[in-house]
Amino acid sequence: MAQQLDRWSRFVPYLLPDAAEQALAMANRRVIAEQLAALQQLDTNPDTALGAADSALRGLDADDVAARAAADVVAHRVTDRRAPAAAAVLGTLAACHLADDAQRGIDDWRTRFAFVQGTTPAVLATLRDAVAAVAHLSGEWWAIRSPLVGGAYADRRVGLAAAPATLAEHTAAAAAGIGWACPPLATKAVSAAARVVPGADNQVVIEADGRISATVSHRPTPRGSLMVAHETGHTVHALVAQSPDPPGALVGETVACWASLVTGRRSAPELPALALALGDTLVEELFVSATVSAFEDSVYRLAADGSVTSVALDDAWLAAHTALWAGVVDVPAHVASGWARLPALATDPGHAFSYVWATVLALAIERRHLHDEAGVVRAAFEAGGIDADQFTALLGFSGTEWIDEGCARLAEVLRDAGQVVAASG
């Protein structure tokens, strides 16, 4: 509770008189409830349900090139149908957010996210610029992978051939990877792995009686193994955290991305399929997440002009992804409505940037604390729901030096994974 109060105290300079705060809270609560209900309504119709798009995207794992291309088209037909209603919701909520910010004198829409997470807009901007400076690594990675698995945009998730693996095998690999990277966490990693079971969603829940339960929408692929490791990381964090407060997105996703990274790092040198999965995961969680964040900035610019429409959002989404992959792969026009399958844009503004932060910090942790016999990593994880900037300090980083360390480590990890992948061809 003290931690939460400290976070909320950062908003003190932006608070309004009590009567104005009460009126704003009532008005905003009504708008938010109405708009989120409208968004949820889309999932009651099979033609616009997120599950239909997600199911189609599973086809991107197919061995056949034509099947992958067809799956991408089918998935985006669903998002095309979702887009008009989703755009209305997103536009209304973004306008509400900006209007509330304006009354408080807040000029950066990410300020709230930064304060709640325990950092500042300036640190987020530093990270954004650093990631933009190394964005060429995404193209270099694509050039390594495409001769082996295809160079079309619909080939972005397919991997090298590998025998299917069970969830139990993937959780065991995650526990081994976490224990390899941080021996003081080995026992908890084994306990966490035992709590991961199949489910419709990827989530970790603390039950009313204090038990930890975790579910994973499992894919029996190398990419799926890293997803399992990610959720196992969340489970480890829940088991070791000693704070009564839950971790924020920046801290929580860092632990999970670190678990995925070290699981991949442990086995990638000998397994080309996992080396490819590791590189793909890093590129997606870092550069694709940064691209989604850039799109989100566009949403708020459009909202400021009152011009949020599904057409405008489609254009912004396509422009952001085309900028990421310029000169590397053609991004087809039919994927322009891909934003409509991300309800978090409405429910959790700014959340996409969590994966940018988490991936860079996870890389910095792996570089500085691999085989952490002293338990620095475990101690930081045990702190639980602390501020993001406090978390980096516990890990031994001064200021934002972790950003440069993480970006430098990214180049090294992609180089090593690329050598394994290229040698397999």
| Range from 9-23, 271-285, 403-417 carrying the lowest mean pLDDT | 9-23
Asked whether the beta carbons of 419 and 268 are under 8 A apart, the reply is no
Query: What is the average pLDDT across 380-394?
Result: 96
Q: Cα separation of 129 and 104, whole Å?
A: 27
pLDDT in tens, 232-249: 999 999 999 988 888 999
pLDDT in tens, 94-103: 999 999 999 9
In which band, very low, low, confident or very high, does the pLDDT at 129 lie, cut at 50, 70 and 90? very high
Model confidence at 81: pLDDT above 60: yes
pLDDT in tens, 133-173: 999 999 999 999 999 999 999 999 999 999 999 999 999 99
Question: What pLDDT is attached to residue 243?
Answer: 84
Question: What pLDDT is attached to residue 206?
Answer: 80
In which band, very low, low, confident or very high, does the pLDDT at 14 lie, cut at 50, 70 and 90? very high
**Structural domains of the chain, with CATH:** 119-424 (1.10.1370.20)
Model confidence at 1: pLDDT above 60: no
Could you tell me which residues are beta bridge partners of residue 206? 212
Give the whole-number percent of the chain exceeding pLDDT 90.
92
Asked whether the beta carbons of 232 and 196 are under 8 A apart, the reply is yes
Question: What pLDDT is attached to residue 238?
Answer: 94
Determine the straight-line distance between the first and last CA of the chain, rounded to whole angstroms: 54
Question: What pLDDT is attached to residue 373?
Answer: 86
Model confidence at 9: pLDDT above 60: yes
Question: What pLDDT is attached to residue 244?
Answer: 82
Q: Cα separation of 250 and 148, whole Å?
A: 34
Give how far Cα 357 sits from Cα of 58, 360, 389, Å: 27, 5, 11
Question: What pLDDT is attached to residue 6?
Answer: 76
Tokens of 140: 């270099």
In which band, very low, low, confident or very high, does the pLDDT at 7 lie, cut at 50, 70 and 90? confident
Q: Cα separation of 278 and 229, whole Å?
A: 12
Model confidence at 10: pLDDT above 90: no
